[in-house]
Amino acid sequence: MSLAAYVARRLLQMVLVVFGVTILVFFLIHLVPGDPARTMLGVRATPERVKLLHEQWGLNKPLPVQYERFMERLVRGNLGNSLFYSVPAGRLVLDRLPVTLWLIGLGALFSVLIAVPLATIAAAKREGVPDHAIRVVPLVGLGFPSFWIGIMLLLAFALNSGRLFPVGGYGSGFVGHLHSMFLPALTVALGLVPILVRSLRASLLEVFEADYITTARSKGLPERRVLIRHGLRNAIISTISVLAVSIGFLVGGTLIIEQVYALPGIGQLMINSILARDFPVVQAVALVFAVMVVLVYLISDIVHAALDPRVRFD
C-alpha cells in the first residue's frame, strides 16, 4: 500500500483511540462513588448548586445520554467551565500550553543531545571500557526519581553557591524563557537518558552487527561509507521508534517537573485543579495530554513509514 493509504489508515486508528480516550476521561468523574455533582462541588455544595450542575451536565439522565452530550460539547470545542475560575477550561489550558510545550521541546532536544552520542560510542566500541561505563547509566539511572533529580539540580546550580539559574518560574522573553527552562529541561532529559541510552544502544548494536554490514565490507567499501550509507540509515529508523516512545514518557514527566520548578504549564494546572477538585479542568488537561501523545506516535509512525520501505507491507 502507498504512503498515503498508510497515513489514512493510521489516522483512522488514531480517531478510534482518541474516542476511547474520551470515554476514559469522561468516566473519570463517575469512578467516584456517590453523586458526581456533590463530589465536584465538595464543600461548595448547596442544594441549588447541585441542582444546577445536574441540569447543566444532565447528571440525572442515563450514562450513554450523558456521554453523548459530553461528546457533543467536546466536538464543538467546549471543554466545560472551570469551577474554580469561572472561565472555559479550554482557555485555561491554551494559556498554559506554551510553557509545557517549551519544556517538552527543550527536554526532548537535551535528551537526544545527551543520549545519542553516549549510545553510539557504547555501540561502536562494544564491550570496551566506554561501553561498560556507559551501561552503568541505564542501570543506576532508572531508579532516580525525576523530581529528585530536579531538586538536586536546584541544589547544585540554583541555590547556595551556584546561583546560575532561577529557582523557578517561566521568565520573560525568549532568552528569559531559555534561562528559566534550562534546568527543568535538563531534569526532564536526565530522567529520560537512561531508558534512551539502553534502547538506542541495543538498536545500534543490531545495526552494526547486521549481515548487510558484512556484505558491504565484503565489497571492500571504505569503512566510512559502510557506516554511513549502510549503518546510519538503518540506525536512524530504529532510533525514531525509540525516540517516539520516549517522548511519550517525556510528556508525562513534565507534570511533575512543573511542580518542582513552579512552572505555570498545563501539568501544574492539572495538579492544582486536582487539589481544588476542579473536575472539568482535570478532564480537559488529561484529554490534551492524551491527544499530544497520540499525535507524537502518529507522526513518528508516518516518518518511520516514509523512511522504511518494509513498513507498508503490514
Partner 1 sequence: MNEPILKVRDLHVEFPLARGLVRAVDGASFDVIRGEALGLVGESGSGKTMALRALVGLLPRQANLAGGEILFEGVDLARASTDNLREIRGRQVAMIFQEPLTALNPVMRVGDQIAEGPLVRLGYHRRRARERALELMGHVGIPDPVRRYQAYPHELSGGMQQRVVIAIALSLEPKLILCDEPTTALDVTIQDQILKLLESLRSELHMSVVFVSHDLAVVAQTCQTVAVMYAGQVVETGPIEAVFQEPRHPYTLSLLRSVPDFDVVRETLATIPGSPPDLAAPPAGCRFHPRCPFVQPDCTTGDFPLRPLGGDRATACIHSELAVDDVRREPVIAGG
Partner 2 sequence: MTAAAEPIVEAAIVEHRRGFRRRWYRTPSFVAGISILGAVTLLGALAPVVMWHDPIQQNLLASLQGPSWSHPLGTDQLGRDVLSRVVYGVRTDLKIAVLAVLIPFCVGTVIGLVSGYFGGWVDSIAGWAVSVVVAFPFYVLIIALVFALGSGTRNIYIAIALVGWVSYTRIVRGEVLVAKRREYILAARAAGLSNLRIIGRHLFPNVITQAIVFSMSDIVLSILAIVTLGYLGLGVQPPTPDWGRMIADGQPFLTTRWELATFPGFAVILTALALSLIADGLADLLRPE
The contact set with partner 2 (CB under 8 A) reads 13, 16-18, 20-21, 23-24, 28-29, 31-32, 139-140, 142-148, 151-152, 154-155, 159-160, 209-211, 214, 248-249, 251-253, 255-256, 259-260, 270-271, 274-275, 282, 285-286, 289-290, 293-294, 297
Q: Of these, 97, 156, 210, 271, which contacts partner 1 (CB under 8 A)? A: 210
Give the C-alpha separation, 313 to 78, whole Å: 40
Is 228 a binding residue for partner 1 by CB under 8 A? The answer is no
Of these partners, partner 1, partner 2, none, which one is at the site of residue 270 (CB under 5 to 8 Å by kind)? Answer: partner 2
Per-residue x/- track, 229-248, partner 1 (CB under 8 A): xx--xx--x-----------
Distance of CA 20 to the CA centre of its chain: 18
Residue (180 or 234) nearer to partner 1, CB = 234
121-126-130 Cα angle (round to 5): 50
- First and final C-alpha spacing in the chain: 9
Q: Of these, 47, 77, 310, 314, which contacts partner 1 (CB under 8 A)? A: 310
Task: Evaluate whether 76 touches 69 at the Cβ level (below 8 Å).
Answer: no
Residue (60 or 215) nearer to partner 1, CB = 215
Residue (90 or 150) nearer to partner 2, CB = 150
* Helix, strand, coil percentages for the chain (3-state, nearest 5): 80, 0, 20
Of these partners, partner 2, partner 1, none, which one is at the site of residue 155 (CB under 5 to 8 Å by kind)? Answer: partner 2
Which alpha helices (H) appear in 219-309, and where do they start and end?
Answer: 223-225, 233-261, 266-275, 279-307
Q: Of these, 27, 215, 252, 274, which contacts partner 1 (CB under 8 A)? A: 215
Of these partners, partner 1, partner 2, none, which one is at the site of residue 276 (CB under 5 to 8 Å by kind)? Answer: none
* Helix (H) or strand (E) segment spanning residue 83: none
Closest approach, Cβ 255 to partner 1, in A, equals 37
DSSP 158-208: TSTT---S-SSS--SHHHHHHHHHHHHHHHHHHHHHHHHHHHHHHHHHHHH
Closest approach, Cβ 143 to partner 2, in A, equals 2
All three cell numbers of 18, joined, read: 482518541
All three cell numbers of 250, joined, read: 517525556
Is 126 a binding residue for partner 1 by CB under 8 A? The answer is yes
Phi-psi region of 65 (alpha: psi -120 to 50; beta: other; left: phi over 0): alpha
Q: Which of 215, 210, 258 is nearest to 237 (CA)?
A: 210
Of these partners, partner 1, partner 2, none, which one is at the site of residue 256 (CB under 5 to 8 Å by kind)? Answer: partner 2
Residue (121 or 151) nearer to partner 2, CB = 151
Residues of this chain that interact with partner 1 (CB under 8 A) are 126, 209-212, 214-223, 225, 229-230, 233-234, 237, 307-310, 313
